[in-house]
């Protein structure tokens, strides 16, 4: 019986080998930072122990199947009715306990080390926080990233410096979501009740390998568009990150340059988009007034609506009929815009750039 | 089982509630049921303790603003007494004294009913005086759910014991209905114990803690 | 079943099953209803796998996907796996301990009808505005926001069927404690009875927290309370705690009876007594106990803090030890045995490696920091399908073949049984093995679709192919059941030839009073013991005498219907969050509850002493297989 499925299994392994271990920007099997690396080591350790356990069981299993099958001439044979064996029972109680201890020690160590957030509170002599802290707010199908110490708010694309601990405070404003950048480390839930905190590290070399963009996902069922609630992480070397911060801080409202964009801006105001969407990274409104993604650096977004390829056509399609791309989203079902208005609006949005 | 069998106080078994197989099953089954009920109330207590200070803002009343200990103390005394009277009833059941058993159960029902009346008064008072309704706050929901579930149990217990008293008034005591009486009294004690915990966790801690 | 119908007419047949309090017939009811829901849940699974066959598939919409996915989980856990286990418990446990029925036959019927009408109520959501869509866990923030009545159907349906389950749990406990035949001490009880006992204790202690949390959410959605309304001081994490305080023991409620079934099958077809019986008993109790200590491992990423995570990580790992003991005990039962590979044994053999894989991935998730990566991904989906399909469903298939003769008097085709296995077993591994890697490669669970270019296409395609193989396997099982029932070839008491426990001493199916004379139990593996001493029947523990039997009753059905009606009223309460309350909502609720309590009152006012089978009639049954042996 084992033989029956062995070819199937080896075929499966082969296919998986061919598929590799997933994509460098998404897979937990290609860890791109200290946290993910630590978790990957635990994965290897536990898999090793578990493969050992499975092997022992399968070996005994195969021996049993080969040696003790009822064969011709043995139809009436009644084996000895063995009640048990204390010696054996002690063995298969003690060995698992030892294996679990081997696993438990690094588990506990990692739990406390990865959960250590003391550094987050460290301040220099001027009272400024030393590490970067990002407030993450998860909303029905979009993400807001606020840099409280830098006075910047952005959405959908998270920008972080590489090779240092980035601390996150996370919560949700409507239903529970979960913040997950698989390549950089495990997820943590964004609750509606309280704030959670943790940190991630983005390795510079690995970031280059992944094209400087990591994929982030919502990992907790949150409604029909749960599968589309993606975000992207731009991991930049510290100096590039500082440049970006500076540009964002200095940017007030971007002034449209072309005539088309100017008319687009008028439509943006007329149609009341501004009531929800800010176009400045320094949105002063309180968070419950920030009911839609900040569009300040929209022109530099990696994706439209978090997952569609960034091009004019997709922007238009999305504005025209968001329900088609993210069912259940809170913008509106269908826009009442003419083709021309859409063109102008798109032109305006695509030129909303803080940096070139 | 033979329900027509006539007993005298001498032939009546010492533990009539477990004298038959059906009685034994009822006895054990009911204790198991009470184990489940305990977990049920434990869950309600946990919810209450988690939410007892959870109101949206200071305009919503909290435990210390609401409760009046004298009233609750009176309710507690009434319910404790009713537990005692049901013990008398079972004592008389064991002695095969049907009339006295019925009488003491009737007293138990009366005490239970007055407890219930006071509870209804209490709830009504909170709603009228404080606008403290089921949906006012997480605290109010937790309070009414915990205390109300207890109240529903009291109501059910009253209906049950009354049904037993009425049904068996003409039939007298036998080995078919003795376990039923016994189990109903167990239920009544259980309700009583739960109330003691409510008195402590809700009212005392609310007022003092 | 069909023979009874042809003799008495279809009306009488239906009436008999509506009113029956006989544990053997209630087992048939559980099997039929559980089987029906199993097929429904299976179809839902196929919808899921077809939708995820390729990236950005549009076979079903995102909203419908969420409904299908929610109903698949809810149906399989509450309406298929548990009732099917109850079917075998009802059919076998009273026979294994030498009882004439369960402790509370009336309540047994009531439990079934509550479960069944609860399940029907839940599934009516498909026709009345949409099914629940917040996952089987129905986390409070999402379920509070869900539009339409789907979640209300979930809450009320789960509540009603949950009451039924709780009753069955109490019933089995009382039965096993009180109704054992003389000589049947606890340490002589067959393993299936033992696991039923422990699983029933878990039901008793785990279902009340579910009842409460479901009530709280129901109150919030239907009657305006504020338990989960954060703005009003509510807290949604309470739901998570309660759900998993129930949810984790629930896993053991399912798997322990499955262990019990395999602990019967493995010794039978190895022709050797269970290795380490007392350590098996001990392990079962320990698993049940630890099952209550580990719920927060479902909540590592909720943010309970490092200390909580550390404690629950270690506690979870501890469960591996008693589970490991069981695996090795089964292996060493077979060691030195004389193994005959029948269909039930084939499933048992398939179970061991499959379940070990599912078990060890569970330990991997106990590693809290690692679980930050694994939680809510397809790795989890793979893990719990390995334990629930590889453990519970395999046990259900094994038991179907193993106990079919005892339940229906005829034997399922072994040949078709092999074919079921040949499709289902590889299909199962194909479907779920690859999902471990999908999860590790970054695929969250419960996604209605996935995008191309993320390395997930091949894995999902393979997984869907496997699902089709499993589907074929189930269809073959259905064909087998139909063919077998039509042929209806009668079998003897002990059709497998190597039965060890008391049920195999009785005719197939047993007479309605089970044992003519209560048997005397002289040791573990009671029937095997007698057979080895050359006895053709069990020794009686009492002289032949009149047998007391309970009367049939329609009241359980009416009580359950009352609750069913009340549920409709509750759903249209004027205070519901959907905002479509009806003026008749509360009156219907009261009417339904009135029917329920009124019927309960009627039950206690009516004299129902049951009836006696005179011993003369029992003598007449001689030769029809009515003897104790």
Cβ neighbours of residue C382 closer than 8 Å, sequence gap 6 or more? C361, C432, C433, C434, C435, C436, C438, C439
Q: How far is C543 from chain B (nearest CA, A)?
A: 18
Could you tell me which residue, C161 or B208, shows the higher pLDDT? C161
How many whole angstroms separate alpha carbon A188 and alpha carbon C478? 44
Consecutive H or E run containing B158: helix B138-168
Q: With 70 as the cut, is the pLDDT of residue B161 above it?
A: yes
User: pLDDT by residue (tens digit) across A75-118?
Assistant: 889 999 999 999 999 999 999 999 999 999 999 999 999 999 99
Cβ neighbours of residue C477 closer than 8 Å, sequence gap 6 or more? C397, C400, C416, C417, C420
Window 251-310 of C, Cβ < 8 Å to B: none
Provide the pLDDT for residue B8: 86
Provide the pLDDT for residue C20: 96
Cross-chain Cβ contact A68/C305 below 8 Å: no
Provide the pLDDT for residue C110: 97
Chain C and chain B touch, per 3+ beta carbon pairs within 8 A: yes
Provide the pLDDT for residue A18: 46
Per-10-residue mean pLDDT for chain C, 629 residues long? Answer: 57 94 97 98 97 95 97 97 97 96 96 97 95 95 93 97 96 96 96 98 97 96 95 95 97 97 97 95 96 95 95 95 96 95 97 96 96 97 97 98 96 96 97 96 96 93 97 97 95 94 95 94 95 93 92 96 96 92 94 96 86 83 45
Cross-chain Cβ contact C174/B28 below 8 Å: yes
Provide the pLDDT for residue A342: 92
Nearest Cβ partner of C271 from A21, A57, A78? Answer: A78
- CATH superfamily, region C10-553+608-620: Cytochrome c oxidase-like, subunit I domain (1.20.210.10)
How many whole angstroms separate alpha carbon A150 and alpha carbon A132? 9
Cross-chain Cβ contact A186/C372 below 8 Å: yes
Task: Count contacts between B and C (CB, < 8 Å).
Answer: 120
Task: Please answer whether residues C232 and C220 qualify as being in contact, where contact means their C-beta atoms are separated by less than 8 angstroms.
Answer: no
Provide the pLDDT for residue C508: 92
- B205 touching chain C per CB within 8 A: no
Consecutive H or E run containing A139: strand A132-139
Category of C442 on φ-ψ map: left (φ > 0), alpha (ψ -120 to 50) or beta:
left
Chain A and chain B touch, per 3+ beta carbon pairs within 8 A: no
Q: How far is C316 from chain A (nearest CA, A)?
A: 10
Cross-chain Cβ contact B29/C224 below 8 Å: no
Location of structure tokens 């309406």: C79
Nearest Cβ partner of C142 from A1, A176, A189? Answer: A176
Q: What angle do CA C196, C202, C207 make, to 5 degrees?
A: 125
Location of structure tokens 């509360």: C586
How many whole angstroms separate alpha carbon A24 and alpha carbon A209? 7
Window 226-245 of C, Cβ < 8 Å to A: 230, 235-237
Please name which of A239, A117, A248, A128 lies closest in space to residue A188, comparing C-alpha atoms: A117
Cross-chain Cβ contact C209/B39 below 8 Å: yes
Q: What is the pLDDT along chain A (356 residues), one digit of tens a residue?
A: 444 555 555 555 555 554 568 889 999 999 999 999 999 999 999 999 999 999 999 999 999 999 999 988 888 899 999 999 999 999 999 999 999 999 999 999 999 999 999 999 888 888 889 999 999 999 999 999 999 999 999 999 999 999 999 999 999 999 999 999 999 999 999 999 999 999 999 999 999 999 999 999 999 999 999 999 999 999 999 999 999 999 999 886 667 778 888 999 999 998 889 899 999 898 889 999 999 999 988 999 999 999 999 999 999 999 999 999 999 999 987 778 899 999 999 999 998 888 77
Task: Count contacts between A and C (CB, < 8 Å).
Answer: 307
A-chain residue closest to C63, CA distance: A224
Provide the pLDDT for residue C77: 96
Provide the pLDDT for residue C386: 97
Mean pLDDT of B85-99: 95
Tokens at A316, concatenated: 């238009």
Window 313-372 of C, Cβ < 8 Å to A: 313-314, 317-318, 320-321, 324-325, 327-329, 331-332, 334-341, 346, 349-350, 352-353, 356-357, 360-361, 363-364, 366-372
B40 CB neighbours in chain C (<8 A) are 208-209, 211-212
Q: How far is A199 from chain C (nearest CA, A)?
A: 12
Q: How far is CA C562 from the centre of its chain?
A: 25
Provide the pLDDT for residue A256: 72
H helices present in C441-554, as ranges:
457-487, 526-532
Q: ipTM of this predicted complex?
A: 0.94
Cβ neighbours of residue A225 closer than 8 Å, sequence gap 6 or more? A140, A141, A326, A327, A328, A329, C62
Nearest Cβ partner of A112 from C306, C373, C459? Answer: C306
A39 CB neighbours in chain C (<8 A) are 369-370, 372-373
DSSP-derived 3-state class of residue C425: helix
Average pLDDT score over chain B: 93
Provide the pLDDT for residue A258: 85
Task: Please answer whether residues C600 and C559 qualify as being in contact, where contact means their C-beta atoms are separated by less than 8 angstroms.
Answer: yes
Provide the pLDDT for residue A254: 67
B-chain residue closest to C223, CA distance: B135
DSSP-assigned letters across all residues of C330-396: HHHHHTTS-B---HHHHHHHHHHHHHHHHHHHHHHHHSHHHHHHHTTBHHHHHHHHHHIIIIIIHHH
Q: Which pLDDT band holds residue B4 (cuts at 50, 70, 90)?
A: low
Provide the pLDDT for residue C621: 58
Output phi, psi for C538, to 5 deg. Answer: -75, 145
How many whole angstroms separate alpha carbon C326 and alpha carbon C346? 18
Please name which of C582, C353, C69 lies closest in space to residue A1, comparing C-alpha atoms: C353
Q: What angle do CA A218, A219, A222 make, to 5 degrees?
A: 70
- A27 touching chain C per CB within 8 A: yes
Cross-chain Cβ contact C331/A20 below 8 Å: no
Q: With 60 as the cut, is the pLDDT of residue B45 above it?
A: yes
Q: Omega into C595 within 30° of 0, i.e. cis? A: no
Cross-chain Cβ contact C372/A27 below 8 Å: no
Q: What is the DSSP letter of B5?
A: -
Domain locations in chain C? 10-553+608-620
Mean pLDDT of B149-160: 97
Q: Which pLDDT band holds residue B91 (cuts at 50, 70, 90)?
A: very high
């Amino acid at each position: 019986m084992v033989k029956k499925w062995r070819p199937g299994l080896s075929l499966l392994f082969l296919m998986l080998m061919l598929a590799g271990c997933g994509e460098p920007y998404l897979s937990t099997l290609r860890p791109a930072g200290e946290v993910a690396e630590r978790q990957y080591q635990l994965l290897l350790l536990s898999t090793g122990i578990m493969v050992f356990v499975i092997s022992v069981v399968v070996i005994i299993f195969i021996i049993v199947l080969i040696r003790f099958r009822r064969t011709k001439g043995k139809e009436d044979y009644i084996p000895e009715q063995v009640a048990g064996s204390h010696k054996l029972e002690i063995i298969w109680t003690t060995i698992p306990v030892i294996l679990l201890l081997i696993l438990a020690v690094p588990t506990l160590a990692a739990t406390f080390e990865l959960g250590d957030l003391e550094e987050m509170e460290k301040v220099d002599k001027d009272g400024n926080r030393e590490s970067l802290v990002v407030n993450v707010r998860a909303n029905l199908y979009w993400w807001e990233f606020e840099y409280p110490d830098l006075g910047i708010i952005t959405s959908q694309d998270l920008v972080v410096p590489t090779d240092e601990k980035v601390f996150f405070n996370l919560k949700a404003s409507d239903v529970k979501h979960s913040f997950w950048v698989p390549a950089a480390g495990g997820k943590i839930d964004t609750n509606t009740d309280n704030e959670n905190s943790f940190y991630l590290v983005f390795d510079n070399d690995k970031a280059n390998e992944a094209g400087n963009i990591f994929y982030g996902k919502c990992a907790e069922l949150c409604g029909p568009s749960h599968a589309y609630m993606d975000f992207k992480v731009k991991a930049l070397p510290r100096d590039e990150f500082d440049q970006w911060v500076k540009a964002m801080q200095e940017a007030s409202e971007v002034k449209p340059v072309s005539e088309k964009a100017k008319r687009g801006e008028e439509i943006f105001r007329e149609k009341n988009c501004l009531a929800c969407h800010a176009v400045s990274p320094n949105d002063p409104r309180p968070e419950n007034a920030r009911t839609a993604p900040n569009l300040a650096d929209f022109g530099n977004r990696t994706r439209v609506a978090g997952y569609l390829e960034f091009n004019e056509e997709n922007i238009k399609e999305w504005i025209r009929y968001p329900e088609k791309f993210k069912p259940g989203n809170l913008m509106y079902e269908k826009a009442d815009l003419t083709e021309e208005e859409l063109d102008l609006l798109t032109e305006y949005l695509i030129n909303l750039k803080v940096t070139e | 089982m033979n329900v027509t069998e006539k007993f005298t106080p001498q032939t009546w078994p010492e533990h009539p509630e477990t004298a038959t197989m059906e009685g034994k099953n009822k006895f054990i089954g009911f204790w198991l049921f009470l184990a489940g009920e305990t977990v049920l109330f434990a869950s309600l207590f946990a919810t209450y303790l988690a939410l007892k200070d959870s109101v949206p803002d200071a305009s919503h009343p909290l435990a210390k603003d609401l409760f009046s200990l004298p009233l609750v103390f009176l309710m507690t005394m009434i319910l404790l007494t009713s537990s005692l009277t049901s013990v008398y009833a079972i004592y008389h059941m064991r002695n095969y004294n049907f009339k006295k058993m019925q009488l003491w159960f009737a007293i138990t029902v009366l005490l239970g009913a007055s407890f219930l009346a006071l509870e209804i008064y209490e709830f009504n008072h909170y709603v009228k005086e404080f606008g403290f309704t089921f949906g006012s706050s997480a605290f109010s929901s937790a309070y009414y759910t915990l205390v109300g579930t207890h109240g529903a149990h009291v109501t059910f217990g009253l209906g049950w014991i009354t049904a037993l008293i009425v049904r068996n008034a003409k039939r007298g005591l036998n080995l078919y209905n003795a376990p039923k009486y016994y189990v109903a009294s167990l239920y009544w004690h259980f309700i009583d114990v739960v109330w003691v915990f409510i008195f402590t966790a809700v009212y005392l801690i609310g007022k003092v803690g | 079943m069909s023979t009874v119908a042809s003799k008495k007419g279809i009306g009488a047949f239906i009436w008999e099953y509506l009113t029956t309090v006989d544990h053997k017939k209630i087992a048939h009811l559980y099997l039929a209803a559980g089987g029906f829901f199993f097929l429904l849940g299976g179809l839902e699974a196929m919808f899921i796998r077809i939708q995820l066959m390729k990236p950005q598939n549009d076979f079903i919409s995102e909203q419908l996907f969420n409904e299908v996915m929610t109903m698949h989980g809810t149906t399989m856990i509450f309406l298929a796996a548990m009732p099917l286990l109850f079917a075998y418990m009802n059919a076998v446990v009273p026979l294994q301990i030498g009882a004439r029925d369960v402790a509370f036959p009336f309540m047994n019927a009531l439990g079934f009808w509550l479960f069944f009408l609860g399940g029907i109520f839940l599934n009516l959501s498909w026709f009345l505005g949409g099914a629940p869509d917040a996952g089987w866990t129905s986390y409070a923030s999402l379920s509070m926001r869900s539009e339409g009545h789907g979640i209300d159907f979930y809450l009320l349906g789960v509540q009603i069927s949950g009451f039924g389950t709780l009753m069955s749990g109490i019933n089995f406990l009382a039965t096993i404690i009180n109704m054992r035949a003389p000589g049947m001490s606890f340490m002589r009880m067959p393993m299936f009875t033992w696991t039923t006992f422990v699983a029933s204790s878990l039901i008793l202690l785990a279902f009340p927290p579910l009842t409460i949390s479901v009530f709280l959410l129901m109150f919030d959605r239907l009657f305006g309370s504020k338990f989960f309304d954060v703005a009003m001081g509510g807290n949604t994490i309470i739901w998570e705690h309660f759900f998993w305080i129930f949810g984790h023991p629930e896993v053991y409620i399912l798997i322990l009876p499955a262990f019990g079934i395999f602990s019967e099958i493995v010794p039978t077809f190895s022709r050797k007594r269970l290795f380490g019986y007392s350590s098996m008993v001990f392990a079962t109790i320990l698993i049940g106990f630890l099952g209550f200590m580990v719920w927060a491992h479902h909540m590592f990423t909720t943010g309970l803090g490092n200390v909580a995570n550390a404690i629950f990580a270690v506690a979870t790992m501890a469960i591996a030890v008693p589970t490991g003991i069981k695996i090795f005990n089964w292996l060493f039962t077979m060691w030195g045995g004389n193994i005959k590979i029948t269909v039930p044994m084939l499933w048992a053999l398939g179970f061991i490696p499959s379940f070990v894989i599912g078990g060890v991935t569970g330990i991997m998730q106990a590693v809290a920091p690692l679980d930050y990566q694994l939680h809510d991904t397809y790795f989890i989906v793979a893990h719990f399908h390995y334990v629930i399909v590889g453990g519970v469903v395999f046990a259900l298939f094994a038991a179907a073949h193993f106990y079919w003769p005892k339940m229906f008097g005829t034997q399922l085709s072994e040949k078709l049984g092999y074919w079921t296995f040949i499709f289902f077993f590889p299909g199962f591994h194909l479907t779920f093995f690859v999902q471990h890697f999908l999860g590790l490669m970054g695929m969250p669970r419960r996604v209605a679709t996935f995008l191309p270019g993320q390395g997930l296409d091949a894995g999902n395609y393979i997984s869907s192919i496997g699902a089709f193989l499993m589907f074929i396997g189930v269809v073959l099982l259905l064909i087998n059941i139909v063919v077998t029932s039509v042929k209806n070839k009668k079998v003897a008491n002990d059709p497998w030839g190597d039965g060890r426990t008391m049920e195999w001493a009785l005719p197939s199916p047993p007479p309605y009073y089970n044992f003519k004379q209560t048997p005397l139990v002289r040791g573990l593996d009671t029937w095997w013991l007698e057979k080895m001493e050359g006895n053709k029947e069990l020794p009686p523990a009492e002289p032949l005498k009149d047998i007391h039997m309970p009367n049939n009753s329609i009241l359980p059905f009416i009580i359950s219907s009352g609750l069913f009606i009340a549920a409709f009223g509750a759903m249209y309460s004027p205070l519901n969050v959907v905002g479509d309350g009806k003026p008749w909502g509360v009156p219907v609720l009261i009417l339904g509850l009135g029917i329920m309590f009124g019927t309960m009152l009627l039950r206690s006012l009516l004299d129902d002493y049951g009836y006696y089978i005179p011993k003369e009639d029992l003598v007449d049954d001689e030769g029809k297989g009515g003897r104790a042996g």
